[in-house]
Structure 1
């Protein structure tokens, strides 16, 4: 499987603990492509269709018609986790560069990175 940063996949996130996102749901691959190629794992952000959640600076809205999703959704960039590639199911699509720039900004906020 040739996995690229910025691609959306369905992934099985169960089992979960507490407030973690679970079940089969879309995820956004945020790991770099070198890691995606050589590691048995990827780093991904959970995606939810509960669009009323798009209230934090770590949330990016995804209109369903633009990205091949069943419903309007939100990327939860405070919900990033390492996943074994075997959790990935069907590829949904890929986000454009301008949306990935917004994702990068939200990741910096989520991780508390300071940019000079």
Structure 2
């Protein structure tokens, strides 16, 4: 089994309330200059939200709540997701 990694839940609360899975984007401390990555600071460290590796996981795999990302990072995440899924 792989090491536990931080992730950002990107599925909406309205969906999360009714099903047993959530959509997540992993987070990493390895900086890569990809347009699908959002730089942020989390738990006092530089990190990237890896939006090119989103996946669905069972809620039972979520180990511990670590907090929230900054509002500015939320805006950037939504903008990148909109760009990734634009027609």
TM-score normalised to the size of structure 2?
Answer: 0.87
Given the alignment, which residue of 26, 38, 41 partners 2:18?
38
Structure that is richer in strand per residue: 1
Stretches of 4+ aligned residues off by more than 3 angstroms: none
Cα distance change, pair 72–97 in 1 and its aligned pair in 2 (3 A):
closer
Where do 5+ consecutive residues of structure 2 fail to align?
none
Aligned to 1:68: 43
RMSD over equivalenced CA pairs, Å: 1.6
Where do 5+ consecutive residues of structure 1 fail to align?
1-13, 15-21
2:30 is the counterpart of 1:50:
yes
Contact 2:8 2:27 in 1 (8 A): yes
TM-score normalised to the size of structure 1?
Answer: 0.67
Question: Aligned residue pairs: how many?
Answer: 87
Cα distance change, pair 68–32 in 1 and its aligned pair in 2 (3 A):
same
